[in-house]
Amino acid sequence: MERKSYPTDLTDMEWEILATLIPPAKEGGHPPTTDMGEICNAIYYHLKTGCQWNMLPGDFPPRSTVYSYYSKWQGQGVWEKFNHTLGGQVRSELGKSTQPTALAADSQSVNTDQKKGMCMVLTDVKR
């Protein structure tokens, strides 16, 4: 039985790109029996909807399995690779460089001197 399709599911092209970035299973261990594409789809569903892990729809792999991969991949930097790779792919398709050339930061993200309304600017001062 095929499972229901969700808007957060990876496209075939996205899966083709990401499948090569998933770390191989440990040698000598039990071979994985879960479809890694379905693991990714479940994780993306969780991230996009903000649902709790125990509220994942039942047609995804078991939530404990999904969370286990999510946690392991987060520690290994796999998510950073995913985002970097897919982001570069999108930029390339838009005719842009795969690396952004500018950075924007809002005042909520930048540390200040902790005094409301005051921002400390460091300059190179010669004495």
List the chain domain ranges.
37-98
Backbone angles phi and psi of 58, in degrees to 5: -70, -10
Rounded Cα distance between 102 and 79, Å, is 22
Which stretches within the chain are classed as H helix? Answer: 12-19, 36-49, 63-76, 78-93
Token pair 């897919």 is found at 86
Of 79, 78, 96, 98, nearest to 88 by C-alpha is 98
pLDDT in tens, the chain (127 residues): 578 899 999 989 888 888 888 888 888 878 888 899 999 999 999 999 999 999 999 999 999 999 999 999 999 988 888 877 877 776 677 777 767 666 676 666 556 555 555 444 444 444 4
Write down the pTM of the prediction.
0.68
Model pLDDT, residue 108: 64
Terminal Cα-to-Cα distance of the chain (whole angstroms): 75
